Chain A
């Protein structure tokens, strides 16, 4: 097959343009006013500064998330919201993040997601599977109520099988009571 060199270079140009645009967008984008990480986590002690390396190496060039990519969703929107003990109602502090998820999903309509419900270890396996399913469904209903097509969202419960915090105690338990919006397909490649 013969490739059209002109088309090839045009594409390359277009890609550069998109990258430049998204970099600009990121630079000017204000920080979200709502927490995109877990709420109410106690502060970890600040690490002591490490001694400077004798020879400074050039800083790696970090690529900003491409809008519509999975990384864009995780970094700029946030993929997890948190729940109270044995509860599945959407907390008020989760609202802004879920609103942003809904807006993002409406902006990138090819994206399909799976909501994964998770529980802490202060419950038994089967009950927690049921509780995680409730949490996943609560998030699904929220997103649907905010304009995301129901057919784009599936749910699953991991019960207490996939803790993100392997510690024990209320801090770890709080982290592990969550629902993650996982992108299954349709996101742009980074």
Chain B
């Protein structure tokens, strides 16, 4: 692991449509459907971009992004026939048709006044049509972010959905034996690159969550003397506590506008949901039931909150107004439901479900219908949404083993470990970077 270093020049990235390139195209003939679980990944050719080693590195990062999405299958460069690709001329389409590439992504990196400039084009090989042509420029050390921006552009052009590649993941890096684990706050790019620790406190760090509007997170620190909830700005490294409460505080999560934090406060053994307005620090109590009420998560419009309660006798999911009004149970199937998270699109609620001896990550519509179980293992928990609402991160722990970060898409078809070699838990996805 590397030590924490402040990321530089986050704002220095600019996307410019290349003037000479074809733009405003109608939807492509090729199309990738993110909702179907039975699709074959789209064969895409990604020859190394021109411009030396950075060109090859760019194509490598983009190819890995697209492959991990499960929707694309980058073709083996050894099969390529057309070796004279040039961003200035039209590709030799028949040569790409011959190897059954459906899409072709090619580009050119160059250095302009000390800055990295990357032009790229995306083509529909069989329609012999250019779908997208763009230019990105940034400081050279930000080349991975340029690659992720291109991945996002390709994903969006071919699926019609926003991408999630130019993002980061905050998580809890774990080390040491069970029972005496060290849990430290950490952050990395969504593809596992650039992992670094974030100074967050000496206690056990748990449940970091991103604001959906800024590079700010909230998390809890657990110490023998009690717990605290913190806000941490990742750009300034400024950290502040939500304040001192009588009893435990836990399960923090931002409202969609980033202006509030909902969380649980425990008093005399009873946990209820409260919300703090971050502008004036006013705290409002939302639930008063003597049962456990925890894990609040806002709907994207900020109007409702899904939460976990055992008021029926076992942990189930409930929805109430953001002011605590009209709590209504939404889960009735057999099993124990916890850790609900509303998707950023509003389409689904993800949750952890326990049935028999297994734990599952699942999704359902916000009214509790159309439950879809996506994973099953000894212990899967804590789903966290990608900003486009198509992929979930979660923690998987084997019996007696360490915790690892995993991801699954909303179809359940694309299930894989995160490309992070260490033990980790509690992943949370950033919004798309600017």
Binding site for B on A (CB under 8 A): 86, 88, 114, 116, 121-127, 129-131, 133-134, 136-138, 140-141, 155-159, 161-169, 182
- Answer whether residue B423 sits at the interface, using C-beta atoms and an 8 A cutoff: no
Task: Tell me the nearest residue of chain A to B271, going by C-beta.
Answer: A130
CA distance A182 to B225 in the complex (A): 11
- Contact, CB under 8 Å: A131 / B224: no
Bound form: Cα–Cα A6–B268 in Å: 52
Shortest C-beta distance, B359 to chain A (Å), equals: 8
Whether A138 touches B269, Cβ cut-off 8 Å, given contacts A129-B250, A129-B294, A156-B248, is yes
Q: List 29 A-B contacts (CB under 8 A).
A: A86-B314, A122-B354, A123-B336, A123-B338, A124-B352, A124-B359, A124-B381, A124-B382, A125-B382, A125-B426, A126-B264, A126-B294, A126-B308, A126-B338, A126-B339, A127-B292, A127-B295, A129-B227, A129-B264, A133-B248, A133-B269, A134-B270, A138-B269, A141-B269, A156-B226, A156-B248, A161-B206, A166-B177, A166-B178
Pairwise interchain contact A114-B224, C-beta atoms closer than 8 A: yes
Question: B321-342: which have CB < 8 Å to A?
Answer: 336, 338-339
CB–CB A127/B269 < 8 A: no
Query: Contacts A124-B339, A126-B339, A157-B266; is A134 near B397 (CB within 8 Å)?
Result: no
Are the CB atoms of B294 and A130 closer together than 8 Å?
yes
Give every chain A residue within 8 A of B225 (Cβ-Cβ): 156
Total interface residues in chain B, CB < 8 Å = 44
Chain B residue nearest to A136 in the complex (CB): B269
**Interface presence of B399 (CB below 8 A):** yes
Distance between Cα atoms of A131 and B269 in the complex (Å)? 8
> CB < 8 Å: which of A157, A161, A162, A165 contacts B248?
A157
Chain B residues with CB under 8 A of A165: 179
Instruction: Tell me whether B271 and A125 are in contact (CB under 8 A).
Output: no
Alpha-carbon distance A130/B271, docked complex (angstroms) = 6
Which residues of chain B from 266 to 292 have any CB-CB distance to chain A below 8 Å in the complex?
A: 266, 268-271, 292
Give the total number of A-B pairs whose CB atoms are below 8 A apart: 99
Partner of A163, one of B179, B204, B247, B352: B179
A-contact 0/1 string along B176-219, CB 8 Å cutoff:
01110101000000000000000000001011000000000000
- B289 nearest CB across to chain A (Å): 12
Decide: B400 and A167 in contact? CB cutoff 8 A: yes
Q: A124-B352, A166-B177 are in contact. Are A129 and B399 (CB under 8 A)?
A: no
Nearest residue, chain B, Cβ from A133: B266
Check B379–A137 contact: CB distance below 8 A.
no
Q: From B295, which residue of chain A is reached at the shortest CB distance?
A: A126
Output the nearest chain B residue to A129 by Cβ-Cβ distance.
B250
Contact of A88 among B181, B269, B315, B338 (CB under 8 A): B269
Which 6 pairs, one residue from A and one from B, show the smallest C-beta to C-beta distance?
Answer: A137-B269, A168-B399, A166-B178, A130-B271, A168-B400, A130-B292
**Cβ contact within 8 Å between A161 and B400:** no
- In angstroms, Cα B270 to Cα A126, docked, is 13
Contacts of A162 in B (CB 8 A): 179
Q: Contacts of B206 on A, CB cut-off 8 Å?
A: 125, 161
Q: With a CB–CB cut-off of 8 A, which chain B residues contact A163?
A: 178-179
How long is the Cα–Cα vector from A154 to B294 in the complex, in angstroms?
A: 22
Task: Tell me, in angstroms, the Cα distance from A134 to B269 when the chains sit together.
Answer: 4
Could you list 9 further interchain pairs (A-B, Cβ under 8 angstroms) beyond the known A121-B397, A134-B269, A163-B178?
A: A88-B269, A123-B338, A124-B338, A129-B227, A129-B248, A129-B250, A133-B271, A168-B399, A168-B400
Q: What residue of chain A has the Cβ atom nearest to residue B183's Cβ?
A: A161
Q: Which residues of B contact A88 (CB under 8 A)?
A: 269
